[in-house]
Amino acid sequence: MEAQRRRSSPWTAISAAAGVPLLLLLSATSIWSQTAAVAAGETTELQKHVAFFDSDHNGIISFSETYEGFRALGFGIISSTLSATFINGDLGLKTRPETATESLFSIYIENIHKGIHGSATGVYDSEGRFVQEKFDEIFTKHAKTVPDSLAPGEVDEMIRSNKQPEDYKGWLGASMEWSATFNLGVDKDGFLRKDTVRAVYNGSFFSNLASEKKVIYTRQKRPHARERQEGIEGECQQSTRLT
């Protein structure tokens, strides 16, 4: 039943059609904000959230880095390409400094808070900092089936409750982000756990998932490599006998 609900959920369909955007990359809301600027040298939670995609650690996420990041998370060629196009095309201009020399499709992590959209949870404030009260509120308000866990319908409910009037772009972004988060983080019982969501917000989820995908890929390739080696050895032995 839970699996059936996940397949039919509208935000799952939206996410698939749009190519699945960068997980919660835009998540934050201008309604719940703090006016103080981020201290010099301080890394915000939102910056940590996107740092996985900055593979060369230069503070800039290029189109190719976003693409490769999605591939490392297990997405296909088409969805990774569409996601990089959507994300870098939107955030590249919003985060671009006046003195920038990189491509218009490059995202500048220092300005990632400028990509904030409405109709989100408010877990990131206007500067990209983590707001614990808002994070806890997600589960105290919406985790009704299992404590500290979200079922598909509860995620739908949360998205609807956060929607601001006439903010269709923000609502669409939130819908796609939570769809991707749920699809990647759902457990065997069909729930999205609080600790998983926390790891998404601080970015550790992405690196952990990419490592798991790499291990699985390596294990799958190993038998084939062994078979090829055995085949080569067999051909060599046969050739030796013939000579």
Q: Which candidate, 113, 201, 191, places its Cα nearest to that of 153?
A: 191
Contact 23, 206 (CB under 8 A): yes
Amino acid at 178: W
The whole-angstrom separation of Cα 47 and Cα 61 is 11
**Degrees (nearest 5) of the Cα angle 156, 160, 166?**
145
Please identify which residue in the block is written with the tokens 């550790």: 204
pLDDT at 60: 96
Angle at alpha carbon of residue 173, lines to 73 and 92, rounded to 5°: 75
Q: Which two tokens stand for residue 106?
A: 């490059």
Average confidence (pLDDT) per 10 residues, the chain, 243 residues? 43 42 43 35 90 95 96 94 94 94 94 92 94 97 96 96 92 90 95 97 94 85 61 57 55
With a CB cutoff of 8 Å and minimum separation 6, the contacts of 52 are: 69, 203, 206, 207, 210
Domain hosting 133: range is 2-242
* CA nearest to 226, candidates 216, 214, 215, 218: 218
CA angle 14/19/25 to nearest 5° reads: 90
Strands 107-108 and 192-193 come out as: unpaired
Element (H, E) at 93: helix 77-95
pLDDT of residue 82: 93
User: How far is 159 from 119, CA to CA, in rounded Å?
Assistant: 8
pLDDT of 220: 80
Side chain identity at 40, as an amino acid letter? A
Whether the model clears a pTM of 0.75, i.e. scores above it, the answer is no
Q: How many domains does the chain have?
A: 1
